[in-house]
Amino acid sequence: MAPITVTVIYFVRHCESVKTGSDQERGLTDAGQLQAQELVAFFKAMPIDAIYSSPMRRAVDSVRPLANQRYMQVMTASFQERLFQPIDARLTSERLEEVVRQSFLDVDYSEVGGESNRMALDRAVVTIEKLRDMHPNQQVVVATHGLVLSLVLEKYTGRAANDWLDAMSSPAIHRLTFDAGGKTSHEQLL
């Protein structure tokens, strides 16, 4: 009997980020930069075969020290935050809260030109399937964002995305283990 193929993905919600400016280019705060260094220590004893990130700067900056320490590249994957609006600016906190609240009531809700929760999850699941195909029997780190990670966790654990999002720190680390038989297990590590 052939051994079961397993892929382990460590999803990392980005470290503390700056709250103003371009949503694509917002980087990390000083505290966030320290957190990124702490991720290097967190993963020190774990074998990592590849490191992926959302193309958004705060996610890339969260795993860049880990990649540098391992002499690895940070590869881009479609785990960027849900596109809330067609322009590259952060919504006000009040407006973001309202859009997210409405999105949890209706998974197809979106602003004109933006993504819905369903669209963001579908994008993430397609990318997860590609990573599973590319990395059988390997361990992969993926830097992503709170809402997208919450949607992924809801899909694979059954716990509501809004519960995950409300309880999620920045950074957060969740390990999902996928086997070829279709079984997925989850563990929250940070």
pLDDT in tens, 52-71: 999 999 999 999 999 999 99
Structural domain boundaries in the chain: 6-188
C-alpha to C-alpha distance for 61 and 14, rounded to whole angstroms:
8
Whole-angstrom distance between the N-terminal and C-terminal Cα of the chain?
A: 36
Q: 50 and 140 in contact (C-beta within 8 Å)?
A: yes
Query: What residues contact residue 116 under an 8 Å CB cut-off, 6+ apart?
Result: 103, 106, 107, 108, 109, 110
pLDDT in tens, 83-116: 888 777 777 788 888 989 999 999 999 988 889 9
pLDDT in tens, 173-183: 999 999 988 89
Question: Is 156 a residue whose pLDDT tops 60?
Answer: yes
C-alpha to C-alpha distance for 183 and 179, rounded to whole angstroms:
6
Q: Which pLDDT score, from 0 to 100, does residue 2 have?
A: 54
Give the H/E segment covering residue 154.
helix 146-157
Which long-range contacts (C-beta less than 8 Å, at least 24 apart) are formed by 67-75? 69/40, 72/48, 74/143, 75/50, 75/51
**CATH class of the domain whose range is 6-188:** alpha beta
pLDDT in tens, 25-45: 999 999 999 999 999 999 999
Residue 188: both structure tokens together: 């929250």
Q: Which pLDDT score, from 0 to 100, does residue 55 have?
A: 97
C-alpha to C-alpha distance for 187 and 175, rounded to whole angstroms:
5
Confidence (pTM): 0.94
Residue 184 φ then ψ, to 5°: -125, 135
Peptide bond into 3 cis (omega under 30): no
